[in-house]
Amino acid sequence: MSVFKKALHAQVAETFDVPPDSVLWRRDFLLGVATAAYQIEGAVDEDGRLPSIWDTFSATPGKVLRGDTGAVACDHYHRWRDDVDLIAALNVDAYRLSIAWPRVMDRDGRANEKGIAFYRELLQALRARGIRTSVTLYHWDLPQHLEDAGGWCNRATAYRFAEYADLVSRELAGLVDFWSTLNEPWCSAMHGYGTGHHAPGHTSVTEASAAMHHLLLGHGLALQALRRNDPASQKGIVLNVGRGTTDGDRPEDRRAAELFELQHNDWVLDPLLKGSYPAALFEQLWQGAEPPVEEGDLAIIAAPLDFLGINYYFRTNVRGDGNGGYVEVDLEGVERTQMGWEVYPEGLAHLLVGFHERYASLPPIYITENGMACDDEVMDGHVVDGQRIAFLNRHLAAVDRAVKAGVDVRGYYIWSLMDNFEWAFGYERRFGIVHVDYATQRRTVKRSAELVRDFLARRNGRS
């Protein structure tokens, strides 16, 4: 049995525990599931789709575990009708998906009609089932030809993104309830250009800083197109946030935890909600890597949002490194997921309340991703994922605590609908509440999904 399967002190649950006074019982609180295009669609060479940076990165030896790629993934491009039936059968209120930029636009900025038609039919089918649609324009799959021209380090990419947003929102207007410009710009900038863990695999903090600025500029420019073309929809952005703590007792350890959250959270939230970057980030951690801000940029970036998407998974324990920075130090004896991430629901409540207190312009919040990877197996036609059920129970309780503390949280999306291509970890790590046998593409509803389905049937009076 793997070390992940024997997660330390793993809590196991057999029921979906929703207290009678929980916000989840409100019919206007959305409970949904989420996916992303490159992780599930496959069909990377079909119907005019162009190569993306993840096609290039995953085909590069040593970049992705076991050499896995998204070439087939969950074959959702061909099986989407069955997948819509699956989503509807779970009784969820909403489905969050992303559009693959390389699938809908050619090199010259013209629409790829077959790609547009795929998403139009998908969204129409979801709406016909009464499922609210949440669409992310950019979930990391930058067209490779734009990366060849400098990618997000090139200011021009922000304007190409705005053109893409304009095209897609004109074509799909009226079919989308929630538009998100970007998914996790922190990951796109830091892991794509700073650490090299994600595509395109660069390793420069200076490039990461430039990439972040151009991502946020692209967000602001895209908002303008979305508001112009689809005024009835809600518009926002999705950010991953992290809780930083320390087990050290020195002042520099406590400052280390502050610095972790400064670079993980404030780096993105401050320009969006305050119209400025946190000066301490570049004074104390990344000297000489200031973002390439031009006149008027921050006003574009800080345009009002209808909602803010929050993705949360774990906390990070740090200590001071003796040089004014921090180092990560793993805690022993804590529960971890298949990813090796600590299960720490308290961090979600803490961050939500903190953002509520700190940002006067904080818009309504949706938890757009939360979930865990387990080493799930199908046994006698069933998948009993008790650790995931416990995880969901505790994180939903954390959301409820935040709501009771005054935070305007309006929904929660489980990551993910189904097992899928987990970026640099390939197909080994399983986040889905639906199991996927990649050899046969058979979908098997896990116990967690059954419990969500049954709860929503009760909530919605369909017992």
Determine the Cα–Cα distance for residues 194 and 291; give it in Å rounded to an integer.
Answer: 14
pLDDT, one tens digit per residue, over 342-352 is: 999 999 999 99
Share of the chain above pLDDT 90, in %: 96
In this prediction, residue 5 carries a pLDDT of 45
The more confident residue out of 13 and 301 is 301
Tallying the residues shown for the chain, one arrives at: 463
Q: Is the pLDDT of residue 1 over 80?
A: no
The terminus-to-terminus CA distance of the chain in angstroms comes to 38
pLDDT, one tens digit per residue, over 422-458 is: 999 999 999 999 999 999 999 999 999 999 999 999 9
In this prediction, residue 17 carries a pLDDT of 87
pLDDT, one tens digit per residue, over 384-397 is: 999 999 999 999 99
Residue with tokens 């039919």: 121
> Among 347, 396, 386, 415, which residue's Cα sits nearest to residue 19?
396
In this prediction, residue 462 carries a pLDDT of 57
Residues 331-345, mean pLDDT to the nearest whole number: 97
pLDDT, one tens digit per residue, over 74-127 is: 999 999 999 999 999 999 999 999 999 999 999 999 999 999 999 999 999 999
pLDDT, one tens digit per residue, over 243-262 is: 999 999 999 999 999 999 99
Determine the Cα–Cα distance for residues 100 and 163; give it in Å rounded to an integer.
Answer: 14
The per-residue DSSP string of 220-276 comes to HHHHHHHHHH-TTSEEEEEEE--EEE-S--SHHHHHHHHHHHIIIIIHHHHHHHTSS
Average pLDDT taken over every residue of the chain: 96
In this prediction, residue 10 carries a pLDDT of 63
pLDDT, one tens digit per residue, over 194-247 is: 999 999 999 999 999 999 999 999 999 999 999 999 999 999 999 999 999 999
CATH class belonging to 23-459: alpha beta
Of the listed ranges 3-7, 48-52, 53-57, the least confidently predicted one is 3-7
Q: Is the pLDDT of residue 164 over 50?
A: yes
In the sheet that 326-328 helps form, which strands lie side by side, from edge to edge? 243-245, 315-320, 326-328
Q: Which residues contact 260 (CB under 8 A, 6 or more apart)?
A: 242, 244, 316, 318, 326
Residue spans per domain, the chain: 23-459
Residues 17-37, mean pLDDT to the nearest whole number: 97
- Coil vs helix vs strand at 285: helix
- Coil vs helix vs strand at 88: helix
pLDDT, one tens digit per residue, over 304-316 is: 999 999 999 999 9
The per-residue DSSP string of 141-198 comes to --BHHHHHTTGGGSTHHHHHHHHHHHHHHHHHTTS-SEEEEEE-HHIIIIIIIIS-SS
Share of the chain above pLDDT 70, in %: 97
Residues 161-189, mean pLDDT to the nearest whole number: 98
In this prediction, residue 11 carries a pLDDT of 81
> Among 287, 282, 346, 284, which residue's Cα sits nearest to residue 320?
284
Is 377 tagged catalytic? no
Annotated catalytic residue within 41, 147, 207, 369:
369
Beta carbons of 157 and 188 less than 8 angstroms apart: no
Determine the Cα–Cα distance for residues 206 and 201; give it in Å rounded to an integer.
Answer: 14
pLDDT, one tens digit per residue, over 369-428 is: 999 999 999 999 999 999 999 999 999 999 999 999 999 999 999 999 999 999 999 999
Q: Is the pLDDT of residue 9 over 60?
A: no
